[in-house]
Structure 1
Amino acid sequence: MKIFYHRSEFLKKLFPSIDITNDEQVIIALKKYYSLSNLTPEIKLTEESIEISLPKEQLKDDPSVFSKATGLCAQGRFSEARPILEDLINRYPTVSEYYRNLAQTYEEDGQHEKAIDILIDALKWDPKNHWALILMGNIHARYFEDVQSAMTYYEQVMEADPNNYVALNNIGGTFLQLGKLSLAERFLTKAYKINPKFSHITLGLGLLNFEKGDLRTAFELAIDTFKNEEKIDSAVYQKAMQLAIESANTLVKQQVGKEALVDYIQEIETLTGKEVKIEEDSSISTAAKVEFAENYGREFHLVKTNPKYPNTDHLIAHELTHLKLAEEARKENVNMLFIGKDSKLEDFRKSIQGSLKKLEKRGIPQSSIDKYVYGLFHGILGQVFNTPIDLFIEDYLFNQLPELRYVQFVSLYQLNLEAHKAVNDPKIIELSPSDIMTKSRIFNVVSARHFESLFGVKMQKTYAVKPFELEQSNAFWEEFNEYRNDKKPGEEYELIQHWGEDLELNAYFKLELEKSTKSTDNISSKTPEDLLEQIENDPFQQSSLDEDDEEELRKFQEQHAGKDINMAVAMYMVGALNYFKNKPTEKVKEIAFEIAMLGRNGINPQKKGYKLNLIPNSSFSGYKLLAYYYVSWAITIPEMLKDLEMPFDKEFELAKSLL
């Protein structure tokens, strides 16, 4: 065994009573310390260094007993470990690690002077013991605020093993905790250059940049930490999550990304040729929604955000990208409409009958069960439609609008937490159809995996998935990646169709090529007054107005009736009330659900030719369908009228007064 020293400050720290430049003093002191029993060390001196050679007979240890002692230390049972370590030192005094572990038991108990004395012995037997050097430096820095002494030991670590990134990270972390940012940066940067994939290092640098006020770099390093750390329950991962959220939220509060969002709104307005308006609406059931101008007979697109969700800028950008994708598909004549097969609602109800019986046994009112069925039906179809498209949308935002990444992160994190709860809450699982829960979970896992691909957050690991659910999620993910980097307009609809078929949900929806709503017919020769008289003379709507008639009626309404009452809708409601008057409530409810499914993508008031399977041999203009929509729900499910977001209360009151 050989021990090497440089004639340096470090040697002075270990042997403070000798003059290290005096060879005679050095030899006497070292021989005295390193002589054991009748064995004497051999000492060689040069002008700059000292070499100590020890006989092999002195090199013994007891690993099994030492393992017992370290096990007690790991459990925090330091007082029990201490006598074991002291006995090991008495029997095997040349083993540095025995001293180092004993010193650590005193350091943990706050006996820092005692720990230093023992660490000096540890370093005398092994001057390159990294953990003893680091512990010694930490004690001087943390408890005695003696940075100069601490650096003496830390520099020995770098000298002994300059590529020991773990040691360098620990030193940097100590200085970071002490607020010594320059020193922390020195060591953490060295560690990062050696191993930029070590999660402790990226976290340390992230925390350092946060303290320096560089929130963008802090956020990016937190994301790197997610990607580098596999254990989601580790302290490093959890600290990185705290850092990412705090950095991102602070940047959002500083309005970072706001200018980019304004530019994006203008881009969408230029692309679509229509103004974009934004408004809050607490009545919508989702975080946000977009209402296409064409589907609502408006001259502008409307993005609604739910004030329950604070990360508005991301939600707005997300909905604007729905507009962008649809417009790009339209230009290639490949835009599709997602249409629920409303006639299949009863089939869906039958498929979940077991779960509905559980609700009935709990005394849940039938009206609430109906609402539950309707919501579940719409919910799973919403996932079929939105999941593939949302993947492409979030990719676009991440890559093309980097200034929005901070709000995108906190928003997606919240949405993923809610999605996880929706399919993992035991109370929800107990009352929900297992088949629907499985399909919803598959969609959520794919979304979680996508979030991880962008930001490194391992949300997928939080799901308890069955093997076949994981297999299906993997298949969806692989298919998405086939399209991901070179998606062409409208290709998102292929994924919607494929995934719907794979999950056997395609019976409940269809994708239909969007057709132009511009009329090529001759302009009607009827005057607005003629049209109103036609409605008044035919209040039960045995015939319907064509598209040009509707346009003329709209103009007449604006000129004569103002904007408070839509006379077309009111008169159509008279016809609807008369039509439903003698029909069973359940029949009217079926019609209500059919219209709701038909209107999932919006009902264009200026469009004609809508068909209802449950009202055969009929053709509905947009206004007429809106009237039947409202009336059927008002009759059968009045408690859900507000969910329709149809501002026709005054028209309905007028229609009832005309009967």
Structure 2
Amino acid sequence: MKIIYPRNKFLSRLFPTVDITNDEQLIHAFRKYLSLGEFIPNVEISESEVIIEIPSNFLLGDPREFQRVNELCSRKKFAEARPILEKLVQKYPSISEYHRTLAQTYEEEGQHEKAIDILIDALRWDPKNHWALILMGNIYARYKDDPDTAMAFYDQVIHADPGNFIALNNIGGALVQNGKLDLGEKYLKQAFDINPEYPNTCYALGLVAEMKGENLKAFEYCAKAVKYSNSSKDPIFQNGLQTALESAKKITDSDYGKEELVDFINELEELTGKEIRIEKDENIPTAAVVQIAENHNRDYHLIKFKPALGIDHLILHELVHILFYHEARKIQENKLFIAKAEKLQEFKRKYSRYINSLIRKGYDEDQVSKMFEELFHGILRQVFNAPIDLFIEDLIFEKFPTLRPHQFLSLFRLSTEAYNAVSIPRVEELLPAEILSQSKVYNVLGARHTDSLLGTRFEEKYSINAKEKELVKSLWDEFLEYRQDREPGEEYELVEHWGADLGLDAYFSLIDEESHRVKAQKPSTKSPEEVMAFIEQDPNSIEGYSEEEDQEMAEFLASHSDKDLNTAVAFYMVDALEYFSKLSIEKVKEIAFEVAMLGQSGIDPKKKGYRLNKIPGQVFSGYKLLAYYYVSWAKAIPQMLSQLQMPFDEEYQLAQSIFESDK
């Protein structure tokens, strides 16, 4: 076997007492140091290299004993490994790796000079031993503050094997740890160019960028480290994730990416011919929601959001909803998702035993009823949004690269919340197993999709049974069939199919938008009282959820304007004015928000038994609650009163005059 040594400064470090320009001295040195017993190596010398040849049997060694040594070293039992290594080195002195491992046992314990002496022997027998070269470089870089000598050994690694990205990564990492950021970054980038999917290099480059205050680079490299890590238990995954999130937070706190968001808004406004308004609303049931202009009889689209991390991503997500609606509408393939209001009671009846069992356990009856109403609306939000959101996030990831930090931060938060929502122990006590399972399946599909984009590991957190796993696989496979070449409107097919597969199709309808518009123009068959029963249905929960109610509400307002004053409402308004006159505006505002939240599940004017936590001891009829609703907003939030669309302006004027005359 031939061993080739470069005839340069590196060689002089292996034989420091030899003049490497003197052929006779070189031949003498090699024969002195590399002779074994009767074996004397033949030395061939040229201007650029020295070549010796040794018998192949010199490299056989004792693999079993060396494996035992490595096991001890992996457990940091260096003192136990060292005697075994010393025997191996004595018996097989020509095996470089035995010397290198022995040297490392000393290096680990801080005996650096001893380690250097042994590493010289390792490199004399194999000048291309990467790990010996790196270990030698590390000692000089970290402990001797001698970067020039360290570089001599590091460069030899690259010279010997320029494609060894792991070696380059280790060199770069050692230099970075020693505070040589620029030099370390140079080696790390070489390693990255060879293998951009090696997570250790990605993370190391992310750390360098973070140290330099380059937040975007830190995010991009650490996001790659997360994506390419083998396991969520890998420290590279955990540390990379933490740095990616921290960097993304710094980016989202700046104006980075906002220009692209504004450009997209302008593009959509031109495309749809409608203004897009964006406003904060703490009372919406989800992180953000869009109200399509045509579905709300407006000349503008409205996006509402709750303040949160990654808010630009939430807004962008709703903007893509508008794009999808427009694309489907353009080819007359748009659908409206209509939740069947009468199915709410059927839903409650289905789980009546569960509801009754909660009440028997001591839970408040009204609160349990409200919880199941919210549960009904919540699962339908998942039915509509879960499939469509997958396509939306795909588009955002591909078409808005500058907003990926926003998407990463936002999806991580949303995925964490989704997991917690179905995984905390109390959920199993409060929710029927069937609903919990249905919601969990939707969440797992979302987790799988987030993992596929970002490399996170949310899906593995979920505990699901064999049937749920099979269903997730089936629904995911269907999504993959659409994923690459989705046509406008095809997302509704997944909404329908997934809803049916999960047994939720009885609660909703997907109807053709155009035919519904024609039907909606016909006179309403419902009485004003029936319409009023849904006056406060949340129009934001699911786009299209209250589409039919919206139309009926418009018809009701038109018909109600011709009627006499509602004296009952006016009477209750006087009572409300009296009650609120004793409270601060902030207290009135708290009541206003509570009534609004209660109104999300509908206020029936003829129903009795409503209660408000902020007004303890009172029981409200439907009309009285509507009166308090109107007056609380008129007193505390007058600038938003018109948005309630409650036809009680004249009643309020009458109530005010009565109240003032009684003072």
TM-score tier, shorter chain, comes to 0.7 to 0.9
**Cα distance in structure 2, aligned partners of 1:96 and 1:330:** 72
Whether the 8 Å contact between 2:128 and 2:160 is mirrored in structure 1 is yes
Bigger CA drift: 16-25 or 69-78?
16-25
412-421 or 442-451, which moves further after superposition?
442-451
Q: Deviations over 1:477-533 (max 9, x none)?
A: 3323333344333322221111111111101111223333799799xxxxxxxxxxx
Deviation at 1:446, TM superposition (A): 1.9
Q: Does structure 2 conserve the Cα–Cα contact (< 8 Å) formed by 1:608 and 1:620? A: yes
2:266 aligned with 1:322, yes or no? no
Letter in 2 for 1:45: I
Unaligned segments of structure 1, at least 5 residues:
523-540, 546-571, 577-587, 611-618
Q: Deviations over 1:90-120 (max 9, x none)?
A: 3332222222112212222222222212211
Q: Name the CA distance, whole Å, in 1 between partners of 2:2 and 2:313.
A: 64
| Matching of residue 364 in structure 1 with residue 363 in structure 2 | yes
Shift of 1:431: 4.0
Structure 1 CA distance, aligned partners of 2:193 and 2:134?
Answer: 20
Letter in 2 for 1:261: L
Distance 1:600 1:55 in 2: 82
The farther-off stretch of 431-440 and 218-227 is: 218-227
The CA distance in 2 between the partners of 1:45 and 1:17, in whole Å, is 18
**Partner SS, residue 189 of structure 1:** helix
Per-residue deviation, 1:429: 3.5
* 1:465 counterpart SS class: coil
Of the structure 1 ranges 649-658 and 262-271, higher mean CA displacement relative to structure 2 is found in: 649-658
Which residue in 2 is equivalent to 1:527? none
SS at match of 1:4: strand
- Give 1:146-165 correspondences, 5 Å limit: 146-165=146-165
Contact 1:604–1:622 (CA under 8 A) maintained in structure 2: no
Q: Separation in 1 of the partners of 2:49 and 2:520?
A: 97
- Kept in 2, the 8 Å contact 1:339–1:597? The answer is no
**Partner SS state of residue 18, structure 2:** coil
Q: Tell me the equivalent position of 1:184.
A: 184
Q: Distance in 1 between matches of 2:526 and 2:57?
A: 111
Correspondences of 1:172-571 after superposition (within 5 Å): 172-211=172-211, 214-296=214-296, 298-307=298-307, 309-352=308-351, 355-356=354-355, 359-360=358-359, 362-514=361-513, 515-516=516-517
Measure how far apart 1:85 and its partner are. 1.9
Deviation at 1:423, TM superposition (A): 2.6
Moved more, 352-361 or 428-437: 352-361
The RMSD of aligned alpha carbons is 4.0
Distance between the aligned counterparts of 2:69 and 2:47, measured in 1? 41
User: Partner amino acid for 1:244?
Assistant: A
Bigger mean CA offset, 11-20 vs 51-60: 51-60
Specify whether residues 603 and 520 from structure 1 end up closer, same or farther in structure 2 by C-alpha distance, changes over 3 A only: closer
* Deviation by residue 1:243-277 (Cα, 9 ceiling, x = unmatched): 43233222222211212222333334344444333
Q: Percent identity of the aligned residues?
A: 44
Confirm whether residue 87 of structure 1 aligns to residue 126 of structure 2.
no
Distance 2:291 2:58 in 1: 84
**1:598 and 1:408 mapped to 2: Cα distance?**
22
Distance 1:361-1:176 versus aligned 2 partners, 3 A rule: farther
C-alpha distance 143-649 of structure 1, shift in aligned 2 (>3 A): same
Deviates more, 1:248-257 or 1:492-501: 248-257
Structure 2 CA distance for partners of 1:452 and 1:599, relative to 1, 3 Å: closer
Instruction: Provide closer, same or farther for how the CA distance between residues 336 and 632 of structure 1 changes in structure 2, counting only shifts above 3 A.
Output: farther
> What is the SS of the residue equivalent to 1:163?
coil
1:641 CA drift (Å): 11
Offset of 1:68 from its aligned partner? 1.7
User: C-alpha offsets along residues 146-198 of structure 1, whole Å, 9 cap, x if unaligned?
Assistant: 11111111122122222222112211222233343443343233333333332
In the alignment, which residue of structure 2 is the partner of 1:525?
none
Amino acid corresponding to residue 447 of structure 1 in structure 2: G
2:4 corresponding residue in structure 1? 4
Q: Residue 146 and residue 592 in structure 1: after superposition, are their counterparts in 2 closer, same or farther (change >3 A)?
A: closer
Say if 1:19 and 1:26, in contact at 8 Å, map to a contact too: yes
Unaligned residue ranges in structure 2 (runs of 5+): 562-598, 616-624, 632-645, 659-663
| Number of the residue aligned with 2:589 | none
Q: TM-score, normalised by structure 1?
A: 0.78
**Equivalent residues of 1:341, 1:597 under 8 A apart:** no
TM-superposed CA distance for 1:593, in Å, is 8.8
Distance 2:538 2:33 in 1: 94
Q: How does 1:635-650 map to 2 (within 5 A)?
A: 635-639=608-612, 648-650=629-631
Q: Secondary structure at the match of 1:128?
A: coil
Q: Relative to structure 1, is the Cα distance of residues 338 and 520 closer, same or farther in structure 2, using a 3 angstrom cutoff?
A: closer
In 1, the alpha carbon distance for the partners of 2:162 and 2:261 equals 47
Cα 1:67–1:292 shift into 2, 3 Å: same
Q: What is the rounded CA distance, in whole Å, between the counterparts of 2:332 and 2:185 in structure 1? A: 56
Structure 1 residue 384, shift from structure 2 partner? 0.4
C-alpha contact 1:387 1:443 (8 A) present in aligned 2: yes
Q: 603, 611, 623: which one pairs with 1:630?
A: 603
1:377-402 alpha-carbon deviations (Å, 9 max, x no partner): 22211100111221222233333333
Greater shift, 321-330 or 590-599, is seen at: 590-599
Would the aligned equivalents of 2:339 and 2:509 in 1 still touch at CA under 8 Å? yes
Kept in 2: contact 1:630–1:641 (CA 8 A): no
Instruction: Tell me if the contact between 2:218 and 2:243 (Cα under 8 Å) persists in the aligned partners.
Output: yes
Does structure 1 retain, via aligned residues, the 8 Å contact 2:537–2:601?
no
Cα 1:512–1:168, aligned 2, differ >3 Å: closer, same or farther?
same
C-alpha distance after superposition, 1:554-604 (max 9, x if no partner)? xxxxxxxxxxxxxxxxxx69x97xxxxxxxxxxx9x999999999973467
CA shift in 2, pair 1:518/1:327, >3 Å? farther
Whether contact under 8 Å (2:537, 2:546) holds in the other structure is: no
Kindly tell me the number of residue pairs found equivalent between the two proteins: 591
Secondary structure of 1:512 counterpart: strand
CA contact (8 A) 2:82 2:102 kept: yes
2:583 alignment counterpart:
none
Residue 622 of structure 1, CA deviation: 8.2
Q: Do the aligned residues in 2 keep the contact of 1:295 with 1:605 (CA within 8 Å)?
A: no
Aligned positions of 1:589-608 closer than 5 A: 601-602=545-546, 607-608=551-552
Structure 1 residues 486 and 328: alpha-carbon distance in aligned structure 2, compared to 1, 3 A threshold: same
Q: Deviations over 1:396-440 (max 9, x none)?
A: 333333332221221111111111222333332354322222222
1:348 CA drift (Å): 2.9
- TM superposition score normalised by structure 2: 0.78
What letter matches 1:284 in structure 2? Answer: I
8 Å CA contact retained: 1:295, 1:604: no
Whether the aligned pair in 1 keeps the contact of 2:280 and 2:306 (CA below 8 Å) is: yes
